């Protein structure tokens, strides 16, 4: 079930939400380090992660799922957010250079269609970053944060889903090693916990972050057609020559 837009906005205004934003945007920014002259699209509730690109990108848009709700973004100036059907976005083919997907894939009823639509609007060689809850992480097991809703993914599940949608995963990362608790002591030590978890690649991170590029070809085996061997039917009646049939009938009745 999608998280309501009010709950998403409240979470990111809280101390725990600010910590989640800082740790995830650090990874996102390291992958999309220079977006000068690019068009960037955020899908889901990606506005907490889009602000760092506004000063360098040509345009930054935020598309939010119709079942989730929408908020005006940015808070000043012309609005760049819209309520859309994310599997049918109002954009032409090959019109976006970079896409950031947050709080979208795990709540989508049709994740493959969502990724296929992102593939359509990406420019040739365009790149996408997808952030999803980690199935083995603590954040996915508690519904006190938005990362505890929807369908969490394992590394293998996310990789297969991306490849089926004709994306080539190029970089993998994890974030949110800090537990999703609102203890003041834990929040103060969150940076140290995150640094230790990332340095040792500890299991149980809260989110998986994958970067992928748009493939321009369809690899063999992406879609396996179901081929069935046609059964070998035997004719119900075996044809015979007319002369032979008459001769046999005559022979049978002659004394």
Give, for 193, the enclosing helix (H) or strand (E): helix 190-200
Three-class SS of residue 206?
A: coil
Spans of the chain below 70 pLDDT: 1, 217-255
pLDDT at position 215, please?
A: 85
Cβ-Cβ contacts under 8 Å for 105 (sequence gap 6 or more): 44, 111, 114, 115, 130, 132, 153
User: By CB neighbour count within 10 A (0-12 exposed, 13-18 middle, 19+ buried), where does 86 fall?
Assistant: buried
Q: What's the domain count of the chain?
A: 1
Three-class SS of residue 4?
A: coil
pLDDT at position 45, please?
A: 97
Report the candidate in 109, 130, 103, 108 with the shortest Cα–Cα distance to residue 119: 130
Residue 254 lies in a domain: no
Mean pLDDT of the chain: 88
pLDDT at position 240, please?
A: 56
Residue 224 lies in a domain: yes
Query: What backbone phi and psi angles, to 5 degrees, belong to 67?
Result: -80, -10
pLDDT at position 76, please?
A: 86
pLDDT at position 223, please?
A: 42
First to last CA, the chain: 88
Residue 45 lies in a domain: yes
pLDDT at position 255, please?
A: 46
| Structural contact between residues 209 and 203, judged by C-beta atoms closer than 8 angstroms | no
Residue 59 lies in a domain: yes
Residue 25 lies in a domain: yes
Residue 255 lies in a domain: no
pLDDT at position 67, please?
A: 87
Instruction: For residue 168, list its beta bridge partners.
Output: 213
pLDDT at position 237, please?
A: 53
Structural domain of 234: 5-249
Instruction: For residue 129, list its beta bridge partners.
Output: 100, 211
pLDDT at position 251, please?
A: 47
Query: What backbone phi and psi angles, to 5 degrees, belong to 208?
Result: -100, 140
Query: What backbone phi and psi angles, to 5 degrees, belong to 243?
Result: -60, -40
pLDDT at position 238, please?
A: 53
**Alpha carbon distances (Å) from 132 to 60, 152, 203, 209:** 21, 7, 15, 7
pLDDT at position 77, please?
A: 85
**DSSP for 57-113?**
SSEEEEEEETTT----SSSSSS--EEEE-TTS-S--TT-EEEEEEESSGGG-S-HHH
pLDDT at position 216, please?
A: 79
Beta carbons within 10 angstroms of residue 70's beta carbon: 17
pLDDT at position 106, please?
A: 96
Residue 17 lies in a domain: yes
pLDDT at position 245, please?
A: 45
Which CATH number belongs to the domain containing residue 141 in this structure? Answer: 3.40.50.150
Residue 23 lies in a domain: yes
Prediction pTM value = 0.84
Beta strands in the chain (DSSP E): 39-44, 59-65, 81-84, 96-102, 122-133, 167-175, 207-214
């Amino acid at each position: 079930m999608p998280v309501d837009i009010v709950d998403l906005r409240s979470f990111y205004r809280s101390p725990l939400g600010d910590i989640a934003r800082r740790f995830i945007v650090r990874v996102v920014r390291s992958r999309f380090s220079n977006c000068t002259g690019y068009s960037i699209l955020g899908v889901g509730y990606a506005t907490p992660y889009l602000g760092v690109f506004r000063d360098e990108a040509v345009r930054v848009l935020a598309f939010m799922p119709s079942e989730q709700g929408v908020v005006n973004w940015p808070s000043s100036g012309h609005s760049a957010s819209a309520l859309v059907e994310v599997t049918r976005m109002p954009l032409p083919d090959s019109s976006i250079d970079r896409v950031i997907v947050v709080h979208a894939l795990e709540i989508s009823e049709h994740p493959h269609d969502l990724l296929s639509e992102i593939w359509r609007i990406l420019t040739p060689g365009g790149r996408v970053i997808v952030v999803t809850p980690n199935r083995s992480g603590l954040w996915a097991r508690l519904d006190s944060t938005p990362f505890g809703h929807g369908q969490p993914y394992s590394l293998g599940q996310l990789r297969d889903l991306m490849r089926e949608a004709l994306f080539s995963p190029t970089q993998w990362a994890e974030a949110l090693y800090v537990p999703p608790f609102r203890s003041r002591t834990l929040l103060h030590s969150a940076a140290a916990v995150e640094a230790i978890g990332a340095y040792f690649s500890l299991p149980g991170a809260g989110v998986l972050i994958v970067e992928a590029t748009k493939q321009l070809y369809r690899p063999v085996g992406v879609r396996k057609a179901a081929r069935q061997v046609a059964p070998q039917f035997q004719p119900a009646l075996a044809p015979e020559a007319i002369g032979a049939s008459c001769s046999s009938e005559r022979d049978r009745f002659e004394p």
